[in-house]
Amino acid sequence: MWRVLLLALCLLLVGCSGDQEPVSGSTTRPDVVTTTSISSTTAPDASTTTESVSPPDSVVDETPTLAEEVDELIDITERVRGLEFLHSPDVAIQPIDEFRAQLDDKVVEDLDLELLAAEERLLQTYGLLEPGQDLEAILRDLLAQQVLGYYEPETRQLFVRDAGAGLSGTDRLTIVHELVHALTDQYYAWGEDFLALADAEAGDELRALQTVIEGDATFHQSVFMATGMLPSEFGDVLADAAEQEEASRGLPPILLESLAFPYTTGAFYIQGLSPAEIEQLYVDPPTSTEQLLARTGEDPVDVEAPDVELAGYAPVDEFTLGQGDLEILIGAVLDAGSAAKVGDGWGGDRVIWLWDGTDIVEVTRYVGDTPTDAAEYADALGSWFASLGSRTGQTGSWQTWQSEGGFYAFRVDGTLLEIVIASDPTAGRSARDQLAA
């Protein structure tokens, strides 16, 4: 699944394909570029001035410094985004090993290890993670491979990794992406809202805001690609993308799709908007991914959380999954066509996770736009659950499947669909029976 991935990155806005000294630090724009020249020197023991002359065969190195390149990219970002920085952005270019170590430290520091263990168990019960696979290790490897830079809303700093051979096309693209974050945060202070939603561990609303922010940066970095990159830099980007794709082989596809969602979906949404409409997204941000995917202003249905209590289990998470992550889930367990069909009918949901330290019970209450939408989701669940276990029959209105690795059940009533997925069949049956009472 993707809760840990979303919450692990909630304090960072990352640039993907996949203490250090900042280059510009928090200095003002004129101080970012430092120029050193030798014009004349005065001998301490003489009254005459001697002019320093370079040898005739010397070659002046006109290669721009790293700070000069960053300053150029600041100008480019202002041009492609159509806004000027209110004050100098705080940019740090870090050696790749230091960058990855710092990113890993930040993510690990914010990881909820209990939630991580619960999600790992749930992914196994979904059939999307093999027993013995370590979700924490997978997550950390994924970020090391895919994240090229990030913006930290809390400190308003941006960090980009330096592979050691100057700025490549991919590096320049990533810096522009992160500078768009810094620029829009100066104007709209979206970082405050983002951090508040992250602190509340919001689900779909946080995902929607993340999609706007990442979509804006991704779309405008593509403008830079189309209008300001050299052919050699395109080659860098393509080579790095191929390398990252190869490195990500074997990772659970659902995590890769979750990481990519706000960039691809957000950029597609942003590209159809006028500049004024883009700015309005920050003034009045969407409250659900449905509003972005369906391009509707309709608010989601407010769904009450399932009321389930199990002996020995404690709630570890409660959230709204949303249309975006529902489509990712169904796409991972079935196919893209089923995902789109189920997603189109999403009206609202509420999910709870119950955890006893070893086993997990996930209970979902979903509301479709119409009874037909709920029935279509139920059909998709039937196909998914049948691939995981043997059907044990029908208990009242509940249809149930069971395997050695889990318990799966749902019932549909009009637009309402209730779902129970549990790693322990006994706990799953207890949750189902409570909902049926």
CA distances from 179 to 90, 108, 182, 307 (A): 9, 25, 5, 45
- Determine the pLDDT at residue 49: 37
Tokens of 74: 């600041």
Give residue 138's identity as a one-letter amino acid code: I
Top-level class of domain 314-436: alpha beta
248-277 core/surface letters (b: 16 or more CB in 10 A; e: else): beebbebbbbbbebbbebbbebbeebeeee
Given the structure tokens 């001697």, which residue do they identify?
A: 50
Tokens of 195: 């951090």
- Determine the pLDDT at residue 229: 85
- φ and ψ of 403, to 5 deg: -140, 180
SS3 label, residue 47: coil
Low-confidence stretches of the chain (pLDDT beneath 70): 1-62, 163-165
SS3 label, residue 108: helix
**Distance, CA of 121 to chain centre:** 22
Say if CB 326 and CB 282 are below 8 A apart: no
Report domain extents, the chain.
Answer: 3-24+65-287, 314-436
Say if CB 246 and CB 123 are below 8 A apart: no
Give residue 74's identity as a one-letter amino acid code: I
Distance between CA atoms of residues 309 and 55, nearest Å:
84
What count of other Cβ atoms lies within 10 Å of the Cβ of residue 39?
Answer: 6
Distance between CA atoms of residues 375 and 245, nearest Å:
37
Tokens of 23: 């280059």
Q: What integer best gives the mean pLDDT of the chain?
A: 84
CA distances from 206 to 145, 198, 199, 353, 427 (A): 24, 7, 10, 19, 31
> Which distant-in-sequence residues (6+ apart) come within 8 Å of 130 by Cβ?
124
Distance between CA atoms of residues 399 and 409, nearest Å:
5
The pTM of this model reads 0.84
Give residue 2's identity as a one-letter amino acid code: W
> Which distant-in-sequence residues (6+ apart) come within 8 Å of 339 by Cβ?
326, 327, 328, 329, 330, 331
